[in-house]
């Protein structure tokens, strides 16, 4: 799944992850996940955060390592882009070379 990410995206995710890995052990706590996600421009609800945590923290140890976080972000980005493409309210503006979605 992470092969869909660019090197620039991976570097951005690594930087955000590292900011919250206070002791440098390669893990962040699940409580910090929301803060990391928000720093990357995502705005998950508490329920969405809990779902993400449940997906990633399979061993329920309360920490998320970078590969787990990267997989989570790749899935989140793929979902966001597919939701935009599935938007039923896309309007073609003939003057512009792109589409607008009134809900996105």
Domains of the chain as residue ranges with CATH: 2-101 (1.10.238.10)
pTM strictly above 0.85: no
pLDDT in tens, 7-32: 999 999 999 889 888 888 999 887 78
Q: pLDDT tier at 85 (50, 70, 90 boundaries)?
A: very low
The overall longest dimension of the chain from CA atoms, in Å, is 54
Helices (H), the chain: 7-20, 30-39, 46-56, 66-85
pLDDT in tens, 37-84: 888 888 888 888 877 877 887 678 778 889 888 888 888 787 665 544
**Which is higher by pLDDT, 100 or 57?**
57
């Amino acid at each position: 799944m992470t092969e869909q990410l660019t090197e620039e995206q991976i570097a951005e995710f690594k930087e955000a992850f590292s900011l919250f890995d206070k002791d440098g052990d390669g893990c962040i706590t699940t409580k910090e996940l929301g803060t990391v996600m928000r720093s990357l421009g995502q705005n998950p609800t508490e329920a969405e955060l809990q779902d993400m945590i449940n997906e990633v923290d399979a061993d329920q140890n309360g920490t998320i390592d970078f590969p787990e976080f990267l997989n989570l972000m790749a899935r989140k980005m793929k979902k966001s882009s597919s939701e935009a493409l599935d938007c039923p309210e896309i309007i073609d503006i003939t003057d512009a070379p792109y589409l607008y979605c009134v809900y996105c």
